[in-house]
């Protein structure tokens, strides 16, 4: 019988094969529609999580809008859960994430299906943040990874 334990090495291999992603040590990185997204296995919580950050740091000027956007996403209009992540440098960003428990053991195909569906939801939330910001502040949202690399 195949061992369906989800380990970092297995996840990194799946992300590389299915999405052209890279192993970043404790998480795997993938780029979906020009957005950097990250996947990680948490052995203690027995879960697989995918997340992405809104690339614009939170400031006093946009904090109210950020809260309103996060509330809209968190009330179910878009799928990911939104929270605020603060970096070691003290910058805060909106973080979109979704998790699935791996207690029953997921096949490679199930992991790919989860990451594919969740990545699309996460990208939709990040694009919502960009378009709402542009409408409110009349400024272009930050470039996506693909635009920066072009």
* pLDDT digits 0-9 by tens, 4-47: 677 889 899 999 999 999 999 899 999 999 999 999 988 777 78
| Domain span holding position 63 | 8-149
Which residues partner with 50 through β-bridges? Answer: 39, 98
| 2 domain-assigned | no
Note the pLDDT tens digit of each residue in 49-107.
999 999 888 988 888 898 888 888 877 665 678 989 999 999 999 999 988 887 567 88
The verdict on residue 1 lying in a domain is no
Read off the pLDDT band of 1 (50, 70, 90). low
Domain contains 85: yes
CATH at 110:
3.30.1460.10
Distance CA 87, CA 75 (A): 25
pLDDT > 60? residue 148: no
Cα distance between residue 15 and residue 149, in whole Å = 21
Domain count across the chain: 1
> What is the distance between the alpha carbons of residues 132 and 141, in angstroms, rounded to a whole number?
9
Question: Is the pLDDT confidence value at 150 over 60?
Answer: no
Over residues 108-137, the mean pLDDT reads: 90
């Amino acid at each position: 019988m195949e061992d369906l334990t989800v380990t970092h090495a297995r996840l990194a291999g799946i992300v590389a094969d299915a999405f052209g992603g890279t192993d970043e040590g404790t998480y795997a990185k993938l780029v979906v529609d020009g957005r950097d997204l990250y996947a990680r296995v948490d052995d203690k919580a027995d879960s697989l999580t995918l997340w992405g950050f809104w690339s614009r740091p939170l400031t006093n000027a946009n904090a109210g809008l950020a809260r309103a956007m996060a509330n809209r996403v968190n009330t179910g209009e878009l799928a990911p859960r939104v929270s605020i992540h603060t970096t070691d440098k003290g910058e805060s960003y909106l973080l979109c994430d979704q998790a699935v428990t791996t207690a029953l053991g997921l096949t490679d195909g199930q992991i790919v299906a989860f990451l594919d569906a969740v990545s699309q939801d996460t990208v939709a939330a990040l694009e919502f943040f960009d378009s709402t910001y542009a409408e409110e502040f009349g400024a272009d949202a930050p470039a996506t990874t693909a635009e920066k690399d072009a």
